[in-house]
Amino acid sequence: MHFKQFYLGCLSHASYYLGSNGEAAIIDPQRDVQQYIDEAEADGAKIKYVIETHSHADFVSGHKELAAKTGAQIVFGQKAETGFETLKVKDGDILTVGYIRLRIYETPGHTPEGISILATAEGEPERLFTGDTLFVGDVGRPDLVGSKGFTAEQMAAMLYDSLHDKIMPLSDETLVFPAHGAGSLCGRSLSKETFSTLGEQRKFNYALKPMTKEEFVRIVTADQPAAPAYFAASAAKNLEGASSLSEIAVPQEITGEQAANFSGVIIDVRNAAEYGAGHIPNSINIGLGGQFASWAGQMIPVGTPIAIAAASYEQVKEAVMRLARIGFETAADYILLRENTPVKTTPQVSVEAAATFIAGTSNAQLIDVRRPAEYAAGHAKGAVNIPLDMLSRELDRVDPSRTTFVICQSGYRSSLASGILENAGVAEINNVTGGTKAWIDAGLETESAAAATACDRR
């Protein structure tokens, strides 16, 4: 067997190539598909199947383009409501790829049509491709398909049955290959590891511990973060079939004057330090060095006109591609930041400087934009938690007249938050470099969520 995992860090997404005896299958491909075609060519194989474990919500898949370019069949679970020619599979079906047997298990729970695939071949370990049913350290969240008529509790009950009736009877030695790793919003506490064994998951995955179905439902439905608005659009596009990337319009360069009057959102894709040193007024900073597409999808409504502000055209092309991977195809303009471009600055201050300033005045506020669980685990003393994905809706909690310091874990999210606050009219904004990690490493005073709540009550 020729086997390869393709891991896309910015989306925490794993896709897979399996080849044998001149045939190949691709599981859960990303939108830009040339890498799979190149792999098959190097392997001397023809792609026979493009298999989707479910209709993904967090990214747009390239299954339709890949099938068109290779003649492969697109495979979905039998309950998938696809708008294109599809080989629908059900429990117990067997697909063959050379000498590899792919056994289908219907595993609803994350979505109704979800499937898992067990790949077996002589002399090879069994490999189970679980999609978003079972992750390393977690299971797929059951609350993303409300529009299909199921409650989160109903989906969680299906997930329990899928795990206990289909997956857990397999041997401990079975290798588990999920569709996502840490950072994905399709689960809550995914591991950084991109594969595991079923035996290891029995030991360490909370969701596989002995418990009743009722207990399982309660645990996996509790405290799920809000789903980004683009998830529904991505899932729908995957069932409809996305267009080829070559059909997306090439962005056109605009001037500084045009950027100043741009009616959509300007995304500055440079790092936080470069953005802080000088950026287009009222642009927001989503750096290519982090989970760019995921944050763009969470912060910007689908269909919004987008202009890319960058240091080079290479950055522009990368940004357009990464936006297209989540179904955003409206980045029609770009501006290259040059010395004569009108800019605004955002001071980048160290944790020591921030702490000293805040301690010396009553007219400062420290906004922590991390997720509630991160904040609860420990934060800078006096910091107020407004999670980044909630900031635009909770601006009334920020006093625009006070000197504002924004902090996250490392400085990436706080730089994005500073742009949102700038757009909201907050005058004095400072991005705390190094974030909470640097604050703790410097030995500055911290507190727990419980202590902060007690202070708020006084």
Separation of alpha carbons 138 and 220, rounded Å: 9
Which token pair is 37?
């075609």
Closest by CA position to 383, among listed 455, 295, 299, 284: 455
Q: Which residue has the tokens 């202009």?
A: 307
Nearest-10 crossing angle of helices 63-70, 34-43: 40
Nearest-10 crossing angle of helices 230-240, 292-299: 110
Considering 10, 186, 408, 455, which one is annotated as catalytic?
408
Q: Are 207 and 219 in contact (CB under 8 A)?
A: yes
Closest by CA position to 174, among listed 205, 137, 193, 199: 199
Separation of alpha carbons 54 and 239, rounded Å: 9
Helix (H) or strand (E) holding 127: strand 127-131
Give the HSE-up count for residue 164: Cα atoms under 13 Å, Cβ half-sphere: 14
Q: Which alpha helices (DSSP H) does 241-333 contain, by range?
A: 256-260, 272-277, 292-299, 313-324
Give the HSE-up count for residue 226: Cα atoms under 13 Å, Cβ half-sphere: 12
Contact residues for 309 (Cβ-Cβ < 8 A; gap 6+) = 259, 266, 267, 268, 269, 270, 279, 280, 283, 334, 335, 337
Separation of alpha carbons 290 and 414, rounded Å: 12
Separation of alpha carbons 277 and 177, rounded Å: 42
The total of other beta-carbon atoms located within 10 Å of residue 84's CB is 13
| 186 in active site | no
Q: Which residues are catalytic?
A: 408
